[in-house]
Amino acid sequence: MIAGVGLTGTGTGGAFIAQGAVALGGGRILWAGPEADLPEDYAGYARIAGEGRLLTPAFIDCHTHIVHGGHRALEFGMRLEGASYEEVARAGGGIVSTVKATRGADVDSLVAQALPRLDALLAEGVSCVEVKSGYGLDLETELRMLRAARALAAARPVRIRTTFLGAHAVPVEYQGRADAYIDTVCIPALRAAHAEGLVDAVDGFCEGIAFDTSQIARVFDAARELGLPVKLHAEQLSHIGGTALAARYGALSVDHVEYATDADAALLAASGTVAVLLPGAFYAIRETQMPPVAAFRAHGVPMALATDCNPGSSPLTSLLLAMNMGCTLFRLTPDEALRGVTTHAARALGLTDTGLIASGMRADLALWSVETPAELAYRFGFNPLHARIFGGPDQ
């Protein structure tokens, strides 16, 4: 049992409890609430003194690309010299440049390169990380990426959710033949990955420099046939209808959404889809079009936050910094930012057993040396984590 802590992210509407306690057993939360109301049943449990620290659900990074080969530091300089994200991509950089490095790496190498990025996330109280494929763009490399992602959960105490992102970009060998790539490479690779038990969800990049709505729809149809949930990169650089498409398929999430509209927000609310905001990419490529946060609030669309950790447009491995960016760049409240990396991030991954401090939930928690929840988003470049709790401790 952890006692003498401030509790936030609880089953009581997320209200902050100044002097709280949590009873844990069997890897689950057995009870949570004001310490004064602790049932006698738990009086004999081993007690961990929280000493006034803050206890939250462990963080969840619901959008990452941490498995990949190489880096793209040179593109950082190109962007500083004025090249846009699209110009970098059309010059042969961007996603396609990472494909070459990733195709040349075996599973062990991909795991070794991903572990430092994963460790940085775990050091900030993260218990669950979504990992996408999408830098192979051929069947064998897509499978290797997903095998590497699964292997991360064996290498570290972390929960990994894998997402097939074969529709991430058109590889060089299929330039000008995006439809052929979708039908002869992407969908067959999805089916092969699913047959091997490597896929938890299916994603795509619906954008002018990637795939249009009709092409993504074919991928989503294949996912539906396999019984897999979908999500989508959409409306990051322009508005071509990806958000409406995702809502029509009941997507778990639509991510980036800078160019989403009020009508899109209404569709997301109706479909129960989470809007995942990615301020790291917004910052790194110096975007100016902000996501329609006010519209999401007005329509009741849940908003998650994630790092979008990737080698090009968001080499970010800090959810704490993503929280601060969400507040300073997108004007989220600190409470919205915290829910964005806990409760709503869990929902963006289709998880119902984490992201909340409540009876029956997984005992995945983070104990912070702060007094109030707002302090987690207030500072940047500072990590106040005291302890990360993953599935315990038991009684």
Please tell me whether 236 is known to bind a ligand.
yes
Whether 171 and 102 have beta carbons less than 8 Å apart is answered as no
- Would the annotation count 63 as a binding residue? yes
**Residue 28 tokens, joined:** 């689950």
Q: Is 308 annotated as a binding residue?
A: yes
Ligand-binding annotation for 313, yes or no, is yes
Q: Where are the alpha helices (DSSP H) in the chain?
A: 73-80, 85-90, 95-103, 107-122, 139-155, 178-181, 187-195, 213-226, 242-248, 262-271, 279-284, 293-299, 319-330, 334-340, 343-348, 374-378
239 is in an annotated binding site: no
Say what angle helices 95-103 and 139-155 make with each other, to 10 degrees.
80
Give the SS3 label for residue 223: helix
Q: How far apart are CA 206 and CA 315, in angstroms?
A: 21
CA distance 291 to 282: 10
Contact at 8 Å (CB) between 30 and 377? no
Query: Is 310 flagged in the annotation as binding?
Result: yes
What one-letter code names the amino acid at 51?
E
> In angstroms, rounded to a whole number, what is the distance separating the alpha carbons of residues 361 and 150?
23
How open is the CA angle 4-10-16, to the nearest 5 degrees? 60
Instruction: Label residue 393 exposed, middle or buried (CB < 10 Å: 0-12, 13-18, 19+).
Output: middle
- Rounded Cα distance between 243 and 234, Å, is 6
Asked whether residue 344 is marked as a ligand-binding residue, the answer is no
Burial per residue of 183-216, b for 16 or more beta-carbon CB atoms within 10 angstroms, e otherwise: eebbbebbbbbbeeebbbbbbbbbbebbbbbebb
Beta bridge partners of 274: 253
At position 105, the amino acid (one-letter code) is: A
Q: Token pair 């080698």 is at which residue?
A: 311
How many angstroms separate the CA atoms of 151 and 263, rounded? 41
> Residue 72 annotated as binding?
yes
The rounded distance, in Å, linking the Cα atoms of 11 and 32 is 8
**Residue numbering of the annotated binding site for Fe(3+):** 63, 65, 233, 308
**Residue numbering of the annotated binding site for Zn(2+):** 63, 65, 233, 308
**Residue numbering of the annotated binding site for N-formimidoyl-L-glutamate:** 135, 310, 312
**Residue numbering of the annotated binding site:** 63, 65, 72, 135, 168, 233, 236, 308, 310, 312-313
**Residue numbering of the annotated binding site for 4-imidazolone-5-propanoate:** 72, 135, 168, 236, 313
